[in-house]
Amino acid sequence: MDAQRAGSSVPSGRAQVAEPINEMFDADGRARPECAEVIAYLLAMDSQRLAELGDRAHRMFQTMGVTFNVYGDREGEERIWPFDPIPRIISPEVWAGVEAGLIQRAQALNAFIADIYDEAQILKDGVVPRDLVIGSTQFRHAAAGIQPPGGVYITVAGIDLVRGADGRFHVLEDNLRTPSGVSYVIENRRMMTRLLPELIRALRVKSVENYPAYLLASLREIAPGGISNPTVALLTPGPFNSAFFEHVFLSQQMGVELVEGRDLVCVDQKLFMRTVRGLKRIHVLYRRIDDDFLDPVVFRPDSLLGVAGLTAVLRAGNATLANAIGTGVADDKAVYAYTPAMVKYYLGEEPLLPIVETYLLRDPEVRAIVLRDLDRYVVKPTGASGGYGVVIGPRATDEQLAHAREAIEANPAEFIAQPVFPLSVHPTLNGRIEAGKASLVPRHVDLRPFVLLGEKPRVLAGGLTRVALREGSMIVNSSQGGGSKDTWVLEA
């Protein structure tokens, strides 16, 4: 197989952007069966009451301090979590397929990480180009030789899905480093049980409350061998991190300490936290900081967020890190193009979840075709996450396109292009109570489900539905004007 081309494709002709589907209504404007009850309920409300839903949610999130931080001019600006009270419904049949696909994908990606930091058989077999992996900004030489218990490298995966014109969920990208958002799934549900309790009860919605217990179980399962009652801690970069609310939330719900780098110390290749009663051993560290900041001995020497000597502790097998060092190489946007091949290679199965067609711009032929019609593609930097640096061709200004073209020509290997994907739309509340009325308008949505690997895989029912609140926008990131919805997976 030609490794340079394997899994990668060449754009053919001028792709037409299909019309996005509406998740609640079919093309003829009829309610989809799983949404009928919710629609009937919402239609029975007058616009005043509808508007009140949004306002009550905002006020309650404010009082409870459900916030996220935005990086920007002011350090650590705190914003109220943006929430849309119209729930998104997923039928049990659709969810069963998605869940199986998520587990399959997480396991294949985990096998890939285990392989490339060990024998790298997949590279030798030419299924994935070696330079793409070794040259990735997320490849970590320090990860070689660290073998986590149970072979679990990816304890938590956030796999972003989008629903296409055919109604099928496609994988948009993988988040395998420190995926965030799960606390808002639970807070959104708690909010909905206050706003519309009778509707949730009537529909029999799958619970999401068990996630912290699932996460704790998964973390305890990967503790170093021979430890019967392991101590777990959550490592946060601190209150200025965009996801700090979530770090507090999860540590609280799991009943584990929320530690910062300065709370930790490594002694005799063991990891400890400094408590009022002296040093206490930690066996499993659920870290929410990037590799680069983990250990100043091995990574960035100027980092104050991690703890010196951690890598040596991991190598000695005296503590487990979740997720392991170097998992980011599997969520590289160029490596993404080869993920269906990984599923076949490691599991011998056909991928259950399709990915979005992806063109690697390091290929001169591919690049030439894409650059000819740059305004028809979405361009993404391979190493970034959180929607940063993404250029959506049809919505970009000439200046932005010229900028992107320049960047691509300077460093073609650092970009991929995808056809514009017709993200599905979902009815979303528009209008505030001051205006005295509200209406429902279609807005683009995506879905971030959470998969946990331990002794066995566990999947949170549903996930975080993000919604682009601006008309026509496809950017769902909360840092860039996105909102969120509660996701209701119905019981079978």
Partner 1 sequence: MLRRIAGSLYWAARYLERAQWRARLVDVNYNLLLEVPPRHPEPWGPLLQITAEQELFASLHEKVTEAAIIEFFVFEKQNPSSIRSCIEAVRNNLSPLRHLISSELWVAVNRLYLECPEWSAQSLAASGVSSFFADLQRDFYTIEGIIDNTMPRDLAYDLMEIGTMLERPDNVSRLLDVKYHYLLPKLEDIGGPADMRQWAAVLRSASAFEAFRKVYGHAIRVNRVVEILVFDPAFPRSMRFCIERLAHVLARIGQEEEQAVCETSPCADLLAMLRNGTAEQTILDGLHEFLIRIENMCARIGEQVFDRYMSLE
From the list 105-113, 244-252, 324-332, 383-391, the region that binds partner 1 by CB under 8 A is: 244-252
84, 260, 332, 414: which one contacts partner 1 (CB under 8 A)? 260
Q: Does 304 bind partner 1 (CB under 8 A)?
A: no
Binds partner 1 by CB under 8 A, chosen from 30, 124, 194, 262 = 262
**Residue 63 sits in the site that holds partner 1 (CB under 8 A):** yes
Instruction: Please give the backbone phi and psi of residue 122, each rounded to the nearest 5 degrees, phi first.
Output: -65, -30
258 belongs to the binding site for partner 1 (CB under 8 A): yes
- Residues 6 or more apart whose CB falls under 8 angstroms from that of 154 comprise 106, 109, 110, 113, 176, 323, 324, 327, 330, 453
Identify the burial level of 30 via C-beta atoms within 10 angstroms of its C-beta, where 0-12 means exposed, 13-18 middle and 19 or more buried.
Answer: exposed
Contact 452, 459 (CB under 8 A): yes
Which CB atom, from 200 or from 279, has the smaller least distance to partner 1?
A: 279
* Cβ-based neighbours of 170, under 8 Å, separated by 6 or more: 161, 162, 163, 164, 353, 354, 355, 356, 421
Single out the segment in contact with partner 1 by CB under 8 A; choices: 27-35, 145-153, 220-228, 251-259.
251-259
For residue 29, which amino acid is it?
G
Given the structure tokens 């030798």, which residue do they identify? 124
Q: Looking at beta carbons only, is 263 or 375 nearer to partner 1? A: 263
Give whichever of 245 and 421 is closer to partner 1, judged by the CB atom. 245
DSSP 346: I
The one-letter code for the residue type at 289 is: I
Q: Is 9 in the site for partner 1 (CB under 8 A)?
A: no
Q: Does residue 240 belong to the site contacting partner 1 (CB under 8 A)?
A: no
| Of the residues 55, 257, 290, 292, which one makes contact with partner 1 according to CB under 8 A | 257
- Select 258 or 324, whichever has its Cβ closest to partner 1: 258
Q: Which of residues 270-289 bind partner 1 (CB under 8 A)?
A: 273-277
Q: Is 55 in the site for partner 1 (CB under 8 A)?
A: no
- Supply the minimum distance, in Å, between the C-beta of residue 65 and partner 1: 5
Query: Which of 9, 62, 121, 411 lies at the binding interface for partner 1 (CB under 8 A)?
Result: 62
Total of residues contacting partner 1 (CB under 8 A): 23
Cβ proximity to partner 1, 253 vs 479, nearer residue? 253
List the helix and strand counts (H, then E) for the chain: 13, 22
Strands (E), 128-192: 156-163, 169-175
d(CA 69, CA 78): 4
Binding site for partner 1 (CB under 8 A): 62-65, 236, 238-239, 244, 248, 251-252, 255, 257-260, 262-263, 273-277
